[in-house]
Amino acid sequence: MQWYLPYDWKYSSKLLHFNNSCFFSGSCFAQNIAARMEADRFSVFSNPYGILYNPISIAESFQFILDIKKYKEEYIFNYQNLYFSQKHHSSTFGNSPKELLQKIDEQNQQAAKALQASSFVFVTLGSAKVFTHKESGNLVANCHKLPSVLFHTNYLSVEEIISAWEPILKQMPEKQFVFSLSPVRYVREGLQQSNYGKAILRIAIETLCTRYSNVEYFPAYELVIDVLREYRFYKEDLVHPNDTAIDYVYGFLSEKILTAEAKVFKKEAQALRRMMEHKVMQENSPEAALFEQKKLQSLQEFEGKWGAANVK
């Protein structure tokens, strides 16, 4: 008896080799997938502006990375004796505007190098709902827990999303972009509105896929919502996918997008990680010493086969 409808994703672009660098940006789901790739010893750079949800803010982060001069000091504000950026997640802050600007400049320099070196760019869009700061008129990436009365809210149009992303895609035609839709639903605004926002994002991504040969859509949303379906694949809040769901989606992505050699690399990297994480009962025993030698040998063998850059 068949218990669920099979889902087959036809990936038609270039495959990811084990020594290709990857750049991730977007929602917490993007960060989770990036963490799994990094644990498997792929070269990964993730979310230099922190977790971002709406497509305009994510696109702006790319524009700032490509041209730091576009970032303005007017985006910085004081809240509870700390300075934050309207264009960043709350994880980026400083004790003064100067300190924050310096931190942002350093982050952009690192991100620019990583983006230039990356062959694949993974972007996960979370919400089409955006917040605009009333006083400044700036669209913000994060409300930083400020009172809601300080912001206007609205939903982006498909055209606005496309207009924000086309300049970026035109600047980087040599990179493979893989867009996905976060399976995290925004229940605070109601499931109807959440689905409405997801539909806007999905149409925008599909339009970009039809216009640009280096853009693909990865069905993370469909894999969680339509294939896994059950709430046992969610955390206790019944909104965020749990580790089992994320592992499933990562496994599906790996099977479709990795070269045959990269799949072998991933399998051996996972085996090496399990060995490195294994703890012996008696740390000072002869058996423990032998196991440490075995781990060192395995590391050397992995380095000899795959290259020193992949030994972390």
Residues 162 and 196 occupy one common structural domain: yes
Q: Is the pLDDT reported for residue 60 higher than 70? A: yes
Indicate the pairing of strand 76-79 with strand 82-85.
antiparallel
Q: Is the pLDDT reported for residue 308 higher than 70? A: no
pLDDT in tens, 126-159: 999 999 999 999 999 999 989 999 999 999 999 9
Let me know if residue 14 belongs to a domain: no
Range of the domain at 283: 278-312
Give the total number of structural domains in the chain: 2
Q: Which of 238, 262, 286 is the last residue of a domain?
A: 262
Residues 177 and 288 occupy one common structural domain: no
What's the confidence (pLDDT) of residue 69? 80
Let me know if residue 271 belongs to a domain: no
Residues 152 and 36 occupy one common structural domain: yes
Residues 217 and 303 occupy one common structural domain: no
Residues 230 and 159 occupy one common structural domain: yes
Let me know if residue 44 belongs to a domain: yes
What's the confidence (pLDDT) of residue 2? 75
Residues 169 and 108 occupy one common structural domain: yes
Q: What is the rounded average pLDDT of the residues 194-223? A: 96
Sequence letter at residue 197: G
Let me know if residue 4 belongs to a domain: no
pLDDT in tens, 278-300: 777 677 777 777 877 888 888 88
Residues 310 and 235 occupy one common structural domain: no
- The token pair at 300 is 């050397």
Residues 211 and 64 occupy one common structural domain: yes
How many CB atoms lie under 10 A from the CB of residue 156?
20
Residues 154 and 205 occupy one common structural domain: yes
Question: Which CATH number is 134's domain given?
Answer: 3.40.50.1110
Q: How confident is the model at residue 107 (pLDDT cuts 50, 70, 90)?
A: very high
Q: Is the pLDDT reported for residue 233 higher than 60? A: yes
Residues 190 and 120 occupy one common structural domain: yes
Let me know if residue 136 belongs to a domain: yes
Let me know if residue 182 belongs to a domain: yes
Q: How confident is the model at residue 310 (pLDDT cuts 50, 70, 90)?
A: low
Let me know if residue 218 belongs to a domain: yes
Residues 258 and 291 occupy one common structural domain: no
Residues 297 and 181 occupy one common structural domain: no
What's the confidence (pLDDT) of residue 52? 96
**Distance (Å, rounded) from C-alpha 312 to C-alpha 306?**
12
Let me know if residue 267 belongs to a domain: no
Q: What is the pTM of this model?
A: 0.92
